[in-house]
Structure 1
Amino acid sequence: MAAAAPLQSLKEEATCCICLEYFTEPVSVECGHAFCLSCITQCWEALEANFPCPQCMETSQNKTLRPIRLVANMVETLKQLHFPNATPQEENMCREHEEKLKLFCKDDQRPICVICRESKGHRSHTVLPIPEAAQEYKDKLYSQMEHLKKELKEMQEWGEEESRKASELEGNIMKQRENILSTFEHLKQFLEKEKQQLLSRLEKEQEEKMKKIQEKLTPLEKQQSTHRSLITELERKCQQQDVDLLKDVKSVLSRCSEVKALKPQEDAPGMETPLLSTTRHAHLQEKLTELKETFPAEMDWRYVKSCERE
């Protein structure tokens, strides 16, 4: 009986926990547990992602199955060495009572025989026939799979929706960027055109007003020269002897009375009006003020003006 215990333990290691028979084409999943190739393939048949291990329920992203040649060789050796003529079903025996394992203890989570069921260790435990227990846990496994598949589908749909939002946001941002660049480029061209027109008008108005001022200055300068000559002549006359002073004093006084000083003329309308006060420029300043007020309060307009100077 003592020798049978290690043998029974070895047989359990060579048994698939899904079909409860010796491994057929044993393969391992990512967590390390082994199953028959057909058993694990059937469990994962309806899944596309998140493949759970039927033994520990740890999930893996890929359906990775690795053949275990050592276990396959061990199964063949067990069949030939210990029970060469026995079937896998006949070898599912209780190592303590040498009875077939027909029951499953839910408390200890292992198969037992009918004699184990009546023992003190299992008498108060919940025990089911192995097919019934297998079906119960299979239902739970399938229920978990359906739940995980539903959650996976919801997460995929959520991910697709978020990806759609990200793509839509990226497209909107790109359009807004293009609109901003286009708007400021047109604004830049418009302001440059307005600047050149205003500067041209300013230069033209300066020429016109300077011409009119010069037209006033020319006769004024000529008359000033005449006055200076008469003043000089009168100063010399006053310094002469009395006889000499009286000789042509009447002629000198006559010329003085004939000279008339030029009076200031009123400027033509607009002569004193600077270009900055013209209707066009005043309207432009008004629009610029409105534009500045549309920007957020936290934007430092001085920074914008410094950028324009650069």
Structure 2
Amino acid sequence: MDFAASLFELQAEASCPLCLDYLRDPVTTECGHSFCHSCIQQRWEDLQDIFPCPVCLHHCPDRNIKKNTQLCHITDIVKQIPPTGRERELQEEKPLCVKHHEVLTLFCEEDLELLCPQCSASSDYEDQPLIPIEEAAASYRRKLQRYVVHLSVEIEDAEVGYEYQTAKTLQVMRKMEYWKRELHYEYKELKCSLELEQEQINSIYLWKRRMLKKN
């Protein structure tokens, strides 16, 4: 693995899976995954009794998560590593306002638009909620993570339901096959019984005819 790939992997390990930024006051859950303390607390804010890990969905028994001092030191060190050429280019490639040619730094939650400082000063956005792009990105990442967790649970439930319905269908098919064999067996028995009765009736009829002829 070359230096750039190793550096990228190290930076990924020092990042929070929820806000995707460098870990702040990192804590580690029972299953071994680490998050910013504020991020995991916000994720579990409305939960009670069961606290699923946002990464692996492991059910943590409570909110008591351990502060990871060593990871905090490692993250501080990673932050000091100068960015590579490509990372520097990406940092410099900031979006510009088409109208004012200034860097877009604000997000309008009502219109879902990116704005520059001059745009935000316009009367069109005077009474609308504006927040920094970084804050908006973190908020929408958290929402996306919640949707992913919710959809993962729904997919898991759907798979369980599908397996249950498949098992029930196979069970019904086996019962139908069993009933089919039973009906076929009863049909053969009934047919044999009717044929035997018909033979007896024919024998009695022939015997009576012979007796009538003799008389």
What TM-score range do you get, normalising by the shorter chain? 0.3 to 0.5
TM-score of the aligned structures, taking structure 1 as reference length: 0.33
TM-score (norm. length: structure 2): 0.45
Indicate the structure whose relative CO is greater, using CA pairs within 8 Å and at least 6 residues apart: 2
Tell me which structure has the larger Cα radius of gyration: 1
